[in-house]
Amino acid sequence: MENLLLKIKNRSARISIIGLGYVGLPLTMEFYKSGFTVIGIDVDKGKVESLKKGESYVQDVKNEDIINSIKNGKFIPSTDFSLLKEADTVSICVPTPLRKTRDPDISYIVSAASEIKKYLHKGQLIVLESTTYPGTTDEVLLPNLESGGLKVGVDFYLAFSPERVDPGNKRYNTKNTPKIIGGVTSECTLVAKYLYEQSIDVVIPVSSTKCAEMVKLLENTYRAVNIGLVNEIAIMCDRLGINVWEVIDAAATKPFGFMPFYPGPGLGGHCIPIDPLYLSWKLKTLNYTARFIELASEINTSMPLYVVSKVSDALNEKKKSINGSSILLLGVTYKRNINDLRESPALDIIKLLKNKGAEISFHDPYVASIHEADGVKKVELNEQVLHIADCVVVVTDHSNFDYPWIVKHSKLIVDTRNATKGIKVGREKIVKL
Ligand code: SAJ
């Protein structure tokens, strides 16, 4: 262990990262900036080629950092896993999606592990960062890595450290977001903590890999359940004839014991809709039903249908039906001011409206086309397009939309994000969740 600690201290340790996406690439740059040489491995040749051309495809990573690190020989992007034989540490930052059956898909972790095993050698540190269910490191990764005869905590070190990357967040980044580390043994925790604290401001050890895996799932389940709660509160307020947005803003004046969440068209992104289902799946294998997670998922996934019912009621007030109406969606990404469509509720809303015979178009400054929704075209946003639409639906409240101008030139608006807050017009023109 001492030898590895010394190599980390004098920066002769060769770091490797598997998976150069929105987690792995920023982490690569942090290790580089703190003086390490980093081998970055990705199965996607296109990513590796872009990096070699000095082009970053991750919004929080600058081209110049890529160019400088490669020019100085301190960052080696490659698709070749055999480079792992030179690596002293390996951080695994691969995707952990859901299968079509909504069960966890840890196949990317398993294939990374089988590559690592080929080149595993004494003194190496392996850290899994991909979000997964508690037990993955101990029950899947560890047996795989020890099957070659090396002993964890003695010959090599293994830990879990949840990623906490929030793409586009201008305040929190990889370096200044506290990092949790849980090792298989105390030596594993010590070595992993020592490595990460060379590049990350605050590193917090916990007692096990399972604890570290669970920390991440608590963080994101907390969000999914609270978003589910506030979506149900919105439905209740609608039945009660109460403005849910006013209720939340008023509740948010409480300086303690309350954190505002806001209703919306549904739960998008690659974390919040997915991570809690990793936890509920694991508990099912232990004959336990994670009721909050399942209920929140049920409510959140019902929100697109709820939005379409609001559109239907709003058109009905104008003696129109969805069938044959022209409907313009404003914003289709899963949350404001980013270009990510993954799991976006807009995709569900489009499907539901299409099935009811609507003529749909969209405008989103961050999106050129929606390949998941053929026939739904992007239109330029102008007075005529707004006026032609029988209903305009604000699905994603990008900051660069001119909401007063949109309201002025629209006949009818369904606002799922309270984006038109403060604009004084009659209820017959703006309908909110
Ligand atoms: N959403 C609501 N109401 C809310 C908050 C979010 O409907 O009050 C919706 C969003 O529109 C989106 C989905 O939920 O469709 C997820 O939104 P999010 O704000 O949780 O954003 P994400 O998915 O980018 O979550 C990431 C997570 N980061 C990591 O997993 C490392 C999450 O833990 C962060 O808390 C979150 O960013 C953040 O705070 O920005």
Active site residue 237: no
What is the pLDDT averaged over residues 286-303?
A: 97
The predicted-structure confidence for 3-50, as pLDDT tens digits, reads as follows 999 999 999 999 999 999 999 999 999 999 999 999 999 999 999 999
What lies within 8 Å, CB to CB, of 198 at 6+ separation is: 8, 31, 34, 35, 36
pLDDT given at position 424 = 87
Strand, coil or helix: 265: coil
DSSP letter, residue 86: G
Strand, coil or helix: 206: strand
248 φ, ψ (degrees, to nearest 5): -65, -45
Q: In this structure, are residues 167 and 23 in contact, taking their beta carbons and an 8 Å threshold?
A: no
Range from 99-103, 212-216, 263-267, 304-308 carrying the lowest mean pLDDT: 99-103
Q: Whose CA is nearest to atom 32 of ligand 1?
A: 220
End-to-end CA distance of the chain: 57
Sheet with 89-92: list strands edge to edge: 75-78, 37-41, 14-18, 89-92, 124-128, 156-160, 179-183, 203-206
Ordered domains of the chain (ranges, CATH): 2-207 (3.40.50.720), 224-432 (3.40.50.720)
For residue 80, the CA-to-ligand 1 centroid distance in Å is 34
pLDDT given at position 100 = 87
DSSP H stretches of helix in 120-184: 136, 142-146
3-class DSSP string for 295-339:
HHHHHHHHHHHHHHHHHHHHHHHCCCCCCCCEEEEECCCCCCCCC
pLDDT greater than 90 at residue 169:
no
Regarding the beta carbon of 398 and ligand 1, being less than 6 Å apart is answered no
Full DSSP string of 211-224: HHHHHHHHHHHHHH
pTM of the complete model: 0.93
> Pairing mode, if any, of strands 179-183 and 156-160?
antiparallel
Q: Whose CA is nearest to atom 31 of ligand 1?
A: 164
In the block, tokens 């660069």 appear at 400
pLDDT given at position 426 = 75
When pLDDT is cut at 50, 70 and 90, the band that residue 358 belongs to is very high
Testing ligand 1's pocket by substitution, the residue of 59, 222, 271 carrying the most ligand atoms inside 8 A of its CB is 271
pLDDT given at position 391 = 98
What lies within 8 Å, CB to CB, of 88 at 6+ separation is: 4, 7, 8, 13, 14, 15, 123, 124, 125
Full DSSP string of 87-125: -SEEEE-----B-TTS-B--HHHHHHHHHHHHH--TTEE
The predicted-structure confidence for 133-166, as pLDDT tens digits, reads as follows 999 999 999 999 999 999 999 999 999 999 999 8
Radius of gyration of the chain (CA): 24
For residue 407, the CA-to-ligand 1 centroid distance in Å is 27
What is the average pLDDT score of the chain?
96
Testing ligand 1's pocket by substitution, the residue of 93, 221, 223 carrying the most ligand atoms inside 8 A of its CB is 223
* Active-site residue, from 93, 188, 237, 271: 271
Regarding the beta carbon of 165 and ligand 1, being less than 6 Å apart is answered yes
Percent of the chain with pLDDT over 70: 100
Q: Largest Cα–Cα distance in the chain?
A: 77
The predicted-structure confidence for 74-97, as pLDDT tens digits, reads as follows 999 999 999 999 999 999 999 999
Residues 125 and 116: their CA atoms lie apart, in Å, by: 11
